[in-house]
């Protein structure tokens, strides 16, 4: 048992409910990063697709933007869920 810091990482009496929250919040960060990359890549492909109207770049760009928005919505809902269950 640590005398200086009762809630340090070496404390065996630390509640186990804190460990899954940090592990689950990692999925929120991954979803946010994937969402940002997909939306940015979709806009870049969309700009290229406007230069080449007959190519399949525009539908691909739209699909990437939709996937990025879905990832961002997942991250928002997941973070809200984790926040609401952490305070109870």
What's the pTM value of the predicted model, to 2 decimals?
0.69
SS3 string of 37-56? HHHHHHHHHHHHHHHCCCCC
| Residue whose entry in the numeric block shows the structure tokens 């699909």 | 63
Share of the chain above pLDDT 70, in %: 72
3-23: per-residue pLDDT in tens?
555 555 555 555 555 545 566
Cα separation, 81 vs 84, whole angstroms:
5
pLDDT given at position 82? 86
pLDDT given at position 1? 47
pLDDT given at position 87? 67
């Amino acid at each position: 048992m640590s005398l200086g810091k009762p809630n340090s990482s070496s404390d065996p009496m630390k509640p186990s409910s804190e460990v899954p929250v940090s592990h689950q919040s990692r999925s929120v960060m991954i979803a946010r990063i994937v969402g940002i990359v997909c939306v940015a890549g979709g806009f870049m492909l969309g700009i290229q697709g406007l230069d080449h109207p007959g190519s399949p770049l525009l539908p691909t760009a739209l699909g990437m933007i939709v996937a990025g928005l879905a990832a961002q919505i997942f991250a928002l809902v997941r973070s809200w869920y984790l926040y609401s269950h952490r305070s109870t």
